[in-house]
Amino acid sequence: MIAAPAMLSSVLALAEGPLDAHAAPELRWAGLALLLPLISGVLCLLCGWMKVRSKLPAALTIAALGGAFATILRLQGAVGETPVVINLFDWISWTWGDGSRFHGFTANVDLYIDRLTVFWMLFVTGLGTLIALYASEYMESDVGKGYTRFFGAVSIFLFAMGCLVMGGNLVMLYLGWEGVGLASYLLIGYYFTKPEAVAAAKKAFIVNRIGDLGLALALFLIWQCYGTVEYAALWKAIEAAPASSEWTAQAIPWLLMLGAFGKSAQLPLYVWLPDAMEGPTPVSALIHAATMVTAGVYLIARMFPLFIVNPDALAAVAWVGGLTALLAATIGMAQYDMKRIWAYSTISQLGYMFLGLGVGTTFGASYHVFTHAFFKALLFLTAGAVMHGFAGQLDIRKLSGLLKVPGFRLVSLLAVLGCFWLAAFPFTAAFFSKDEILVSAFTAKDERVHVLGWIGLVVAALTAYYTFRVGFRVFFGPVKYEPGDEHHGHDDHQDHGHDHGHAHGSHGASAAHGGHGHHGEFHPHGPRWAIRVPLVLIAVGAMLAGWPSYRTMLNHGEPNWVKTQVAQSSAYQGVAAESHGSHDDHAAAPTAAEGEHAHADHGHLVLGMDAHTAVGRLGSLACIAGILVSLYLHLINRGAADALRRTLMGSIATRWIVVGAERKWLVDEFYDWVIRLPLRLVANILSAIDELLLDAGIVNGIGALPAAFGRLFRPLYGGVVQGYAVTMAGGVALVAAWVIWIWLRGAN
């Protein structure tokens, strides 16, 4: 409540336009967050050129990302309630005609710093730094060319992500959007000698391209409708003329949505993300779980003023998010590859975020992005540590009881903690953020999306089940493991967990793989400090991510920190007025106006209870039920899981469930038949036309003409010099005779 006057002034300021950098001298270093990763990217390129064979690229990248993080931390302290535009340099500035609103196009290299920007960059750069540190050890078997390439691409990614989030106009956002796509492509295809990795990289790039087309078209239409692509001017233009009924204005949110669905792996375009797991695990953690895939959420949150005026578009976002969450969760339940399960869980959690956006809680969506970034990075990185130690083994049927394997105790412990977060166990960070989204779904003004709340609860139970399916199988139970088929070139097997791995592994299946390496038996090697430290720090971060909610819960009246961050940005423009407002304890509402709405909203009841209480209880129930089922099937009686699968497979009526979920509901095959096959047919036809008509017919045909003409005269050249001489002399004689004849005729 105290914040209300300040908030009011900030809303006014939003409308009046942002301050420039002179008004905020503390912010003038913001450009460093972009510049440092760029510099380290260039230096990595130099390292590659100079054939550096040390860990220097990693050190450079970690230093640069750390610097960027420090810059953002400093910004966090300095940024006020008013957005600030910092002009780095002028880039595009065209005017024509009289130079009025629709007769000019300006896109400078500006930074638009408001609290949403800083909030987003905080976990992007923070996690980036930690994951780069992790990767410095994880990638060490590739020191040299590959190492340099890896860290160069990571630097480029962070630079592009910075452009995307901090850019002051849509052109910068688009630049960053394509830049992160490029970095993602380079890193998925990191093992470019592996055909699957190359195919996955191409798939990711091409599927993203479809979304990017939507974003590009949206950008064009935004200029056409509002005459500007700069955020500051755009908000003013939208405020002046909020809802045009012209189709161009109506199409903008739909096109933006397409872009967001591509980048954030939502329903029609999600297929690239599971395959993207072909990249090195730190990349999966950083790009394909924590940061890049949230760009779509950021896009919609940033562009929320365009969505809020179009309830149909918002409902579509909500439905796509909810259905994606459900579909991905069902697939995740039936996979056996640990990284793949986490990939589907990422898609599912992103579905939650879009559900949140669609029901109007940009706060809930951003909060979930924030909490998800930490625990999903943690889960991927622990999976990576396991994979690193067990020669690429990721099959959850072939790993068991890792909590008891020396060298893996810490990793396993952190992974299990991560499972609790992903399952949204009561009073973990994800519990609060998911709660926020589901409550909004139940209380949304738009009746069409209420059912999504129930879907969300079902997905919560499924999530808890598949999360702990991995947790119980891999980290609990009897010690048993088989190594994968990748043999890292490490010589440190002897000193890390050598004896213990030997002792424990011997009663597992590893004896069957006795021929592995020269030791006769496989010895898992535990991670060292550069993997352990980031893991612990990220786990601490995941714990702290719930901090704002704890504070709100403990002392009523204190606004949720994340909420204040999101509220003082474009993501909240119009939300308070248009949407259902806050259903949160109203004291936490950052504006007085919203607080009043909150009162009005208490009419929404779920199962006869206040929506907030009901969702909290149902969510906890769903989570615990999922965990208990998982506990029985995957720890206490593992045979029962196989028996259940056999039973389901035995009957025609239920067989499809198992086959469908295990084969990812055949979506890839469906796309193969419906899109790739026709395209390939057309390509083959065109290729045949090219080969037969253009190449063979026209090009080679014209080429053959002189040869055929020459063949006519070839008999004249028989190889007898005198023959040529006679021809020549005869020719000369003929010409002479002709000349003389002309001359004689002329003389007459």
Give 628 or 737: the residue with its C-beta nearer to another protein. Answer: 737
Report the C-alpha gap between 556 and 739 in whole angstroms.
Answer: 117
Beta partners for residue 606, in sequence order = 609
Report the C-alpha gap between 730 and 724 in whole angstroms.
Answer: 10
Three-state secondary structure string covering 27-76 = HHHCCHHHHHHHHHHHHHHHHHHCCCCCCHHHHHHHHHHHHHHHHHHHHH
Q: How far is the CB of 49 from another protein (least distance, A)?
A: 52
Helix axes 295-302, 247-263, angle to 10 degrees: 160
Report the C-alpha gap between 139 and 9 in whole angstroms.
Answer: 50
Site membership for another protein, residue 715 (CB under 8 A):
yes
Give me the sheet containing 19-20, strands edge to edge. 19-20, 84-95, 104-113
Among 22, 51, 714, 745, binds another protein (CB under 8 A): 714
Report the C-alpha gap between 217 and 214 in whole angstroms.
Answer: 5
Looking at residue 496, what DSSP letter applies? Answer: S
Report the C-alpha gap between 101 and 95 in whole angstroms.
Answer: 9
Beta partners for residue 397, in sequence order = none
Give 714 or 745: the residue with its C-beta nearer to another protein. Answer: 714
The count of residues interacting with another protein (CB under 8 A) is: 11
Phi, psi dihedrals of residue 92, rounded to the nearest 5°: -110, 130
Site membership for another protein, residue 736 (CB under 8 A):
no
Which range, of 364-372, 425-433, 609-617, 722-730, touches another protein by CB under 8 A?
722-730
Q: How far is the CB of 195 from another protein (least distance, A)?
A: 50
Per-residue b/e over 493-502, b at no fewer than 16 CB within 10 Å? beebbbebbb
Q: How far is the CB of 671 from another protein (least distance, A)?
A: 58
Using alpha carbons, select from 244, 170, 250, 245 the residue that is nearest to residue 212.
170
Using alpha carbons, select from 657, 653, 431 the residue that is nearest to residue 549.
431
Q: How far is the CB of 703 from another protein (least distance, A)?
A: 19
Q: How far is the CB of 730 from another protein (least distance, A)?
A: 11
Question: How many C-alpha atoms does 394 have within 13 Å on its Cβ side?
Answer: 23
Question: How many C-alpha atoms does 648 have within 13 Å on its Cβ side?
Answer: 16
Give 206 or 725: the residue with its C-beta nearer to another protein. Answer: 725
Report the C-alpha gap between 569 and 301 in whole angstroms.
Answer: 9
Residues in the chain: 748
Give 503 or 732: the residue with its C-beta nearer to another protein. Answer: 732
Report the C-alpha gap between 137 and 177 in whole angstroms.
Answer: 29
Q: How far is the CB of 719 from another protein (least distance, A)?
A: 3
Site membership for another protein, residue 192 (CB under 8 A):
no
Which range, of 142-150, 176-184, 389-397, 714-722, touches another protein by CB under 8 A?
714-722
Using DSSP's 3-state secondary structure scheme, residue 149 falls into helix
Report the C-alpha gap between 573 and 432 in whole angstroms.
Answer: 23
Q: How far is the CB of 715 from another protein (least distance, A)?
A: 7
Contact of 55 with 151, CB cutoff 8 Å: no
Give 720 or 744: the residue with its C-beta nearer to another protein. Answer: 720
Give 605 or 729: the residue with its C-beta nearer to another protein. Answer: 729
Q: How far is the CB of 142 from another protein (least distance, A)?
A: 60
Contact of 411 with 399, CB cutoff 8 Å: no
Q: In angstroms, how far is CA 746 from the centroid of its own chain?
A: 91
Site for another protein in 37-76 (CB under 8 A): none
Question: How many C-alpha atoms does 704 have within 13 Å on its Cβ side?
Answer: 7
Q: How far is the CB of 726 from another protein (least distance, A)?
A: 6
Site membership for another protein, residue 726 (CB under 8 A):
yes
- Residue linked to tokens 């971060």: 541
CB count within 10 Å of CB 217 equals 17
Give 686 or 729: the residue with its C-beta nearer to another protein. Answer: 729
Q: How far is the CB of 738 from another protein (least distance, A)?
A: 19
Which range, of 7-15, 114-122, 180-188, 710-718, touches another protein by CB under 8 A?
710-718
Site for another protein in 530-549 (CB under 8 A): none
Which range, of 286-294, 661-669, 673-681, 711-719, touches another protein by CB under 8 A?
711-719
Cα-Cα-Cα-Cα dihedral of 467, 469, 470, 473, to 10°? Answer: 150
Q: How far is the CB of 711 from another protein (least distance, A)?
A: 9
Q: How far is the CB of 739 from another protein (least distance, A)?
A: 16
Among 25, 489, 639, 719, binds another protein (CB under 8 A): 719
Site membership for another protein, residue 25 (CB under 8 A):
no
Among 718, 743, 744, 747, binds another protein (CB under 8 A): 718
Site membership for another protein, residue 740 (CB under 8 A):
no
Which range, of 454-462, 513-521, 700-708, 716-724, touches another protein by CB under 8 A?
716-724
Q: How far is the CB of 709 from another protein (least distance, A)?
A: 13
Positions of E strands within 350-460: 399-400
Residue 559: C-alpha distances to residues 328, 552, 588 (Å):
33, 6, 4
Among 96, 722, 746, 748, binds another protein (CB under 8 A): 722
Among 2, 240, 702, 720, binds another protein (CB under 8 A): 720
Binding mask 656-695 for another protein (x = CB under 8 A): ----------------------------------------
Q: How far is the CB of 704 from another protein (least distance, A)?
A: 17
Give 708 or 720: the residue with its C-beta nearer to another protein. Answer: 720
Among 702, 707, 712, 721, binds another protein (CB under 8 A): 721
Q: Phi/psi class of residue 107: alpha, beta or left (left: φ > 0; alpha: ψ in -120 to 50)?
A: beta
Looking at residue 230, what DSSP letter applies? Answer: B
Which range, of 113-121, 126-134, 688-696, 712-720, touches another protein by CB under 8 A?
712-720
Give 689 or 725: the residue with its C-beta nearer to another protein. Answer: 725
Site membership for another protein, residue 729 (CB under 8 A):
yes
Lookup: tokens for 484: 């994968």
Q: How far is the CB of 717 from another protein (least distance, A)?
A: 4
Report the C-alpha gap between 344 and 584 in whole angstroms.
Answer: 30
Q: How far is the CB of 724 from another protein (least distance, A)?
A: 10
- Residue linked to tokens 């898992």: 524
Give 25 or 715: the residue with its C-beta nearer to another protein. Answer: 715
Interior angle at CA 554, CA 548 and CA 559, nearest 5? 45
Give 25 or 706: the residue with its C-beta nearer to another protein. Answer: 706
Report the interface residues with another protein, using CB under 8 A: 714-715, 717-722, 725-726, 729
